[in-house]
Amino acid sequence: MRTQKIVPQTLLAFALGLSFSIAPQESFAAAKTIDKELAESLEKGYNQLAKGDYSKAVEVLSAAVKQDPDSVTARRYLAYALVKQGNSLAAIDQLNAITRLTKPTYFEWCTYGEAYLKANSLDQAASCYKAAISLAPKADYAKSGLIRVSMQGKKYEEAMNLAKDGMKEAANPQIYEYYKKLYSGVLAASAAPQIGGPVQGATVASGTPTTTITSSANQTGNLPGAVSPETMLKRITSQQTRPVENHPGG
């Protein structure tokens, strides 16, 4: 018997900056009841993620996965923590395990994309972001991922065209400004080799030259005004009259 979903799909979509576009119903598996011990581990792991203590989160969530290897939520949290920690290969292992348990959601494809991007596996990263977009065609988070993939691969014209498309299709002024900043960053990065070095004030992360104006976006892909990925990950616990549940997917 299916339990009541505590997390609305509309909230899940908004949290990753989908511009109110909802991923198809079939991409979300049914929620399932979990025991309190595992729920406490997941809550503890989430709290560590929220604090930015990714090493501790990995430790706690790895134990949760050992406790229940079939928990999609535990593996989902762990994969995200591993990406934030910089351990892309281990994150991909967790994501692969999730795909053996259930159909990947938009969030899994985005996390795959971030992991491959950090590992400089650009073709794979692009494929994962495109898979996310196939589930949510207006998803700005995944579209920004494609821009960052092109930028990291020094395909500046492609990145600029994608940013231009983003500006044209922006659902609101904040999203428009986000794509505009990405475009400005790509333009500056494309000019850097021609002037004999990186743009003044630029930083280098994962091999990608970036301007100050886009460094935050290039590292995280977060959208202005959108709920953070940490908030998207938040497991909503039930009231005392309801069973404790996982995210959709278990």
Specify the pTM.
Answer: 0.70
Give CATH superfamily name and number for 9-233: Tetratricopeptide repeat domain (1.25.40.10)
Boundaries of every domain in the chain:
9-233
pLDDT tens, residue order, the chain (250 aa): 333 232 333 333 333 443 333 333 333 444 556 688 899 999 999 999 988 999 999 999 999 999 999 999 999 999 999 999 999 999 999 999 999 999 999 989 999 999 999 999 999 999 999 999 999 998 898 999 999 999 999 999 999 999 999 999 998 999 999 999 999 999 998 887 554 444 333 333 333 333 333 444 444 445 544 445 444 444 333 323 333 333 333 3
Token pair, residue 211, equals 């301007």
Burial 187-208 (b: 16+ CB within 10 A, else e): ebbbebeeeeebbeebeeeeeb
